Structure 1
Amino acid sequence: MSDTAQSKWIPAKSWQHFVGGAIGGMAGAIVTSPFDVVKTRLQSSLFRESHLAVNVVANGMNGGVLTMPQGRSGLLRHFVETTHIIRDIYRDESPRALFKGLGATLVGVIPARSINFFTYGNGKQIIAQRFNDGVENSYVHLGAAAFAGIVTGSVTNPIWVVKTRLQLVSNHAAALQSTSQRSLVSSLDMIKQIAREEGIRGFYKGLSASYLGVTEGTIQWVLYEKLKRLNTESHGKGGFREWAGMLGSAGTAKCVASLITYPHEVLRTRLRQPMVNGVKKYTGLVQTLRLVIAEEGARSLYGGLSAHLMRVVPNAAVMFWVYEGILRWGNDSS
């Protein structure tokens, strides 16, 4: 392929998006891993059921009816609950449990962020050049982000299934599962079990919810691009204020996108849960949505929201900051 033909399809320095996404995603995942564990457990019905069982044993029954403690309402209660769960995991399961599933997370994050940033970063340039006279705008960003989300979700879904299953294996949740499940200690064990019990299709549970979640990535990218442009116009390029503004832009974009689209996270986690006693409770996206609302109410669709925000906002800030830094470094070193 000639250099002229290649330049039409592959923008110059496309590798920077790939490397920047990988390193940024890895840094963010390590820093915020404990919140990821808490978020997954709060989204899962298995954890909720096992937590209820523990309260029955610890508090007893009051006239045959379990009375659950009533805490503060609203977002503050969720943040308090998050810190309590982190404390309980640290105390009951060891500090290492706060990083349970991190191996699978990194195995997923590195290719996922590489693919997403590579596809988006190069995609927006290609779309702009071929369809908008080389000018980037919100429509270009939207199209590139949607395409990047679909590609990333399709390729990495099996990794997230394994990660979710690993994070649901705890002393509490194990009480509701089989002996073979309680003995799982590694990603390889989990992969073997899923393949044995559910086949290849088991690795693609929650894929429909992942596609629904493409809207989150799309909103995040479009909003980030707008905020980054406003920040650059206000403070110029280079200097502390621009980089601080970039951190704020990334965190704000992720926060807004997460608040708008969060229910798909809960649905995806439920779809990826393991079978209990050979019974598959959640079978499809619509069925899961209806069942969760019927059994637990609409508020349960925001289970784990505080832990999610405590994880994804700083995660996005770190990830995009590193990503932008690598892009700048690559351009300056040329």
Structure 2
Amino acid sequence: MSSGHSDHADDTATAPQLPQSAPMSETAHQSSIGAMPLVSTKEKDSTRKIEKQSLEYALRSGIAGGLAGCAAKTVVAPLDRVKILFQASNPQFAKYTGSWSGLAHAIRDINRHEGARGLYKGHSVTLLRIFPYAAIKFLAYEQIRAVLIPSSEHETPLRRLISGSLAGVTSVCFTYPLELMRVRMAFETSHSHRSGLLDIMRQIYHERAAPTPRSAAATESSTVAAVEGAASTVNKIAPRTGLINFYRGFAPTILGMLPYAGISFLTHDTVGDFFRHPSLAPYTLKRAVDGDIDPRKAELNKNRPLLNAPFELLAGALAGLASQTSSYPIEVIRRRMQVGGAVGDGHRLGIAETGRKIWLECGFRGFWVGLTIGYIKVVPMYAVAFFVYERVKGSLRIG
């Protein structure tokens, strides 16, 4: 027994001792960890620059544009309803046009007969249309701008104007039928038949264009008779019902969109550049101390830093004022053409014919009816649209 214990003790005593490293100090341990380049995938993604002409950038800019459009239209939906009634010369609201108080009286009249929901009549179609419309417009602007203005050396007002105009035309081509349905729903009042979206679609589809009436004076002129004969032939060939009805007023829409979208983007970018001037930057730029701007993200946006809220809203408001003024007469003609199937004899009027009719009815003022509401509307609408767009772009890391 004793020998067993002694043998075990000897083994323990004679066992070779392995060298032990000295314990690492806490400071050295922390410094070794700090020296390791630990960068998470999320952080890498947040600092990754997305190329403008990539599919990812296009999708993100489209989402930002769609959300911006929906937010802006929701803010001004009641004003938009009244403006359409004024522009299209709705008989029940003609008495309210031409004065500042007319806007308040029209809103009160709608609220009395249709309730608060009446102020948002047609807004569901507006949202259905505005998301793809705004998404395509902002997406197209970013992509067209990247082609026409690949660097700061190519930055000119003309290129900005062309980029905005082409973006507006592109978006209209894809979403015009929804715009027409929205106008038709907004044009109806409680005193007329109230229609749902499907009713409006069926009504527009089955509308038949009346033949152009031939005046007595036209029969006395062989030249005019020949022109009207050619027009009659075209009317016989062209379909008078069906899908073509969803493009009433399409030509003046395109004509008006060229200055409308072009000048809005041109003005916004030009005013934004002015506000970003080094002498104004301390007062106009969004600061990192807000807590929501990572310096690494700011580095990605160093070519176009974000404006703070008041100046971003102001830039958008000025863009709306400029674009509205430049295109308003064409917009009035477009509205009259869009509701042509809902009033009168259903005759499809052209741009010149509609303009002549407005001139005979109201004179020069007829082309500017509802402009007061237009100004009141575009200030918050464009301010909200550009503000939301720029902020969502920043959140999606494509600012």
Structure with higher RCO (Cα < 8 A, 6+ apart): 1
Look up the match of 1:207: 250
Question: Could you tell me how far 1:97 is from its partner in structure 2?
Answer: 0.3
CA distance in structure 2 between the aligned counterparts of 1:277 and 1:269, rounded to whole angstroms: 12
CA distance in structure 2 between the aligned counterparts of 1:251 and 1:276, rounded to whole angstroms: 33
Q: TM-score, normalised by structure 1?
A: 0.81
Question: Is residue 291 of structure 2 the alignment partner of residue 291 of structure 1?
Answer: no
Question: Could you tell me how far 1:305 is from its partner in structure 2?
Answer: 1.2
Look up the match of 2:146: 125
Secondary structure of the residue that 2:155 maps to in structure 1?
coil
Look up the match of 1:168: 187
Look up the match of 1:18: 62
Q: How does 1:145-294 map to 2 (within 5 A)?
A: 145-172=164-191, 174=192, 182-184=193-195, 186-197=196-207, 198-214=241-257, 215-233=259-277, 234-235=280-281, 237-239=285-287, 242-275=308-341, 279-281=345-347, 283-294=349-360
Question: Could you tell me how far 1:320 is from its partner in structure 2?
Answer: 0.5
Change (3 A) 1:282 1:288: farther
Change (3 A) 1:330 1:89: same
Unpaired segments ≥5 residues, structure 2? 1-49, 208-240, 291-306
Change (3 A) 1:11 1:303: same
Q: TM-score, normalised by structure 2?
A: 0.68
Look up the match of 1:316: 382
Look up the match of 1:81: 102
Identity of aligned residues (%): 25
CA distance in structure 2 between the aligned counterparts of 1:113 and 1:93, rounded to whole angstroms: 29
CA distance in structure 2 between the aligned counterparts of 1:277 and 1:140, rounded to whole angstroms: 41
Question: Is residue 43 of structure 2 the alignment partner of residue 33 of structure 1?
Answer: no
- Larger helix proportion of the pair: 1
Aligned length: 294
Look up the match of 1:63: none
CA distance in structure 1 between the aligned counterparts of 2:51 and 2:75, rounded to whole angstroms: 37
Residues 85 and 93, structure 2, Cα contact 8 Å, conserved in 1: no
Look up the match of 2:9: none
In structure 2, what residue type is equivalent to 1:284?
G
Residues 282 and 288, structure 1, Cα contact 8 Å, conserved in 2: no
Look up the match of 1:300: 366
Structure possessing the higher radius of gyration over alpha carbons:
2
Change (3 A) 1:108 1:134: farther
Look up the match of 2:210: none
Bigger Cα displacement from structure 2, 93-102 vs 280-289: 280-289
CA distance in structure 2 between the aligned counterparts of 1:305 and 1:294, rounded to whole angstroms: 19
In structure 1, what residue type is equivalent to 2:85?
R
In structure 2, what residue type is equivalent to 1:38?
V
Question: Could you tell me how far 1:16 is from its partner in structure 2?
Answer: 2.6
Deviations 1:263-288 (A, max 9, x none): 11111110011435771255111110
Deviations 1:187-221 (A, max 9, x none): 12111111122311110011111111121111111
Backbone CA RMSD of aligned residues:
2.5
In structure 1, what residue type is equivalent to 2:378?
V
Q: How does 1:43-122 map to 2 (within 5 A)?
A: 43-45=87-89, 47=90, 49-51=91-93, 78-122=99-143
Q: How does 1:135-150 map to 2 (within 5 A)?
A: 135-150=154-169
Residues 78 and 305, structure 1, Cα contact 8 Å, conserved in 2: no
